[in-house]
Structure 1
Amino acid sequence: MNSWVNQVFCEDALEGLARIPDASIDLILTDPPYNLGKDYGNGSDQQSVQDYLAWTEQWIDKALPKLKPNGSLYIFLTWRFAPEIFVMLKQRMTMMNEIIWDRRVPSMGGSVRSFSSVHDTIGFFVNRKDYYFDLDAVRIPYDAETKKARSRSIFVGAKWLEVGYNPKDLWSVSRLHREHPERADHPTQKPLEIIERMIKASCPPGGVVLDPFMGSGTTAVAARRLGRHYAGFELNPAYCEIIEARLAAPEVPVASKKRKAEAKSAAVRTLDVPEPTLIADKAQTKAA
């Protein structure tokens, strides 16, 4: 196994991406700073518009060569900058979807001078026509009532009726509230449900997912749960500790119907390695 696989490097992705060989990644899945002024322990989310867009183009140009020819990219964005960034990506890739993530924000508060923003925008891009996409892995089962209504002979044995329907481009999944068992100490953590859907659809089993902005490490956790490999970067040392703790915590099987109410906190091991700090998948490290 390559030394960069199943590792999260605690360093700037603009420098660290040189570690990743070109054409080695099946899927780039990332949630970069939105430039909305949030505090991530650095100034990455507090740039001028011009600097933010220039920085975005810079990391895109460093990351895209890492994709395999049939690879794909998912990117979380805010509506404020999605148009400009989508144009950047359209000049380099083919856009397949604009996915709207409805965060299920309660109907209270918000602006009194505009409509309340309750969604994130996700761009789905591919390199070429033969990109990997496993629709059956993410189909949504029909309920019993729908199947009963389609009981006529022309529907008997229909694959789509048995395995379910194609998810639409509006994903209604609740944001992670403070009491949610998945929640880590990160202001913009994304739900595993969304990340796992992307990985199952667009990364083959045993493939590699790259996340240049790991944040709380959800991409790495999801990839490992689904039998994929991962690689990534995170600039904030405090978030690197969160990632390490989540990867060290007891794993909850994907198929389990009941999730533990509380994840046991895992001790964060201080790594005595040269900078940048390296976060490895401990399960794999023990097996090696």
Structure 2
Amino acid sequence: MLKAMPAECVDLAFADPPFNLNKEYSSKINDKISEVDYLEWCKNWLDEMVRVLKPGGALFLWNLPKWNIHLGAHLNQQLNFRHWISVDIKYSLPITNRLYPSHYSLLYYIKGEKPAIFHPDRTPISCCRHCGGEIRDYGGYKNKMNPKGVNLADVWTDIPPVRHAKYKKRSANALPLKLMDRIIAMSSDAGSVVLDPFGGSGTTFVAAELTGRHWIGSELDCSAIAERFASLQGDKEHLLDIQTNKNILFKQDDLARQKKSGRKLSKDYRLQINGDDCQCDTDEIVQSSLFVNS
């Protein structure tokens, strides 16, 4: 499929390939091959992804750190390295005589010197899930905090694994919709072309579809993707919840917990009500129906 595509036609390329872990997929193919063959196979399709990427386009590669060390070295010869993003998702059980593996590697590269599109989301301040209090003390910098939220870092601890049957579209691991919404929001615009050659359960395609992007992809067994696209209402509701809780300084749920526990939000924070910066206490914000992300 990639070889049939013209050069420099894609704005954002994302890949979540099999991890060579001896898993059998619904296509009846087991992904276990020799390490040498696996890396060579990955390099072949990565070269094609680089070829179809537009100048300034972004390439993201999702894999285990073990493999991304090698594949990153290969991409360094063709693209401009931007970030190694660590995504804290605890899927696996502890392994004897090893540290507990708790993160995936997300490599972020650009074709050329600078990105053509780059507008990362901002995240809310992390708060206690019991009392709603800020986990980090921003001290005398509260009045300098951007009312749209905290700068996105290269360690993501707020991406939950897909375990609930409502969101899990296949037996194998599925990508969280929040992950793909963040990547697509960061490196594409409405009307951009998004490529994902390992469609899986279709999360990339759903996120692209629901945010007005064009998308191209492939998969050996497309039944889960076709079934998912037959009814996108659940994904629409999930995405709305995701987008309501980004680009804001505090989540409504956290402010409600603060109010319930008797805490007062510092008046030094600048928040947005109806798109305007203002200083309000917790009661005013929780009661207001105009508290929005923008």
**TM norm. shorter chain > 0.5:** yes
Structure 1 residue matching 2:114: 3-state secondary structure: coil
Higher relative contact order (CA 8 A, sep 6+): 1
Evaluate the alpha carbon distance shift between residue 128 and residue 44 of structure 1 in structure 2; reply closer, same or farther with a 3 A threshold.
farther
Structure 1 residue matching 2:98: 3-state secondary structure: coil
Q: Tell me what 2:216 maps to.
A: 231
Evaluate the alpha carbon distance shift between residue 75 and residue 186 of structure 1 in structure 2; reply closer, same or farther with a 3 A threshold.
farther
Please state if 1:169 is matched with 2:154: yes
Please state if 1:79 is matched with 2:65: yes
Give 2:124's aligned amino acid: P
Aligned partners of 1:96, 1:121: CA distance in 2, in Å?
13
Q: Tell me what 1:129 maps to.
A: 113
Please state if 1:62 is matched with 2:48: yes
In the TM superposition, residue 42 of structure 1 has moved relative to its aligned partner by 4.6
Q: Tell me what 2:228 maps to.
A: 246
Q: Unmatched 5+ residue regions in structure 2?
A: 127-132, 245-294
Q: Tell me what 2:88 maps to.
A: 102
Higher Cα radius of gyration: 2
- 5 Å-filtered alignment, 1:102-251, equals 102-105=88-91, 109-135=93-119, 137-142=120-125, 150=141, 155=144, 161-172=146-157, 173-177=159-163, 179-235=164-220, 237=221, 240-251=222-233
In the TM superposition, residue 149 of structure 1 has moved relative to its aligned partner by 5.5
Aligned partners of 1:22, 1:44: CA distance in 2, in Å?
31
Please tell me the root mean square deviation across aligned C-alpha atoms, in Å.
2.5
In the TM superposition, residue 246 of structure 1 has moved relative to its aligned partner by 1.0
Structure 1 residue matching 2:156: 3-state secondary structure: strand
Per the normalisation by structure 2, the TM-score is 0.72
In the TM superposition, residue 193 of structure 1 has moved relative to its aligned partner by 0.3
Give 2:240's aligned amino acid: A
Structure 1 residue matching 2:19: 3-state secondary structure: coil
Q: Tell me what 1:89 maps to.
A: 75
In the TM superposition, residue 103 of structure 1 has moved relative to its aligned partner by 0.7
Aligned partners of 1:225, 1:69: CA distance in 2, in Å?
25
Question: Contact between 1:147 and 1:161, CA under 8 Å: does it hold in 2?
Answer: no
Q: Residues 247-278 of structure 1: CA distance to partner in whole angstroms, max 9, x if unpaired?
A: 1213315334799xxxxxxxxxxxxxxxxxxx
Give 2:200's aligned amino acid: G
Evaluate the alpha carbon distance shift between residue 227 and residue 113 of structure 1 in structure 2; reply closer, same or farther with a 3 A threshold.
same
Runs of 4+ aligned residues of structure 1 deviating over 3 Å after TM superposition are 41-44, 141-152, 256-259
In the TM superposition, residue 25 of structure 1 has moved relative to its aligned partner by 0.4
Q: Residues 56-86 of structure 1: CA distance to partner in whole angstroms, max 9, x if unpaired?
A: 1111112211111110111111122111111
Instruction: Indicate the percent of aligned positions where both proteins have the same amino acid.
Output: 29
Evaluate the alpha carbon distance shift between residue 245 and residue 43 of structure 1 in structure 2; reply closer, same or farther with a 3 A threshold.
closer
Aligned partners of 2:197, 2:60: CA distance in 1, in Å?
12
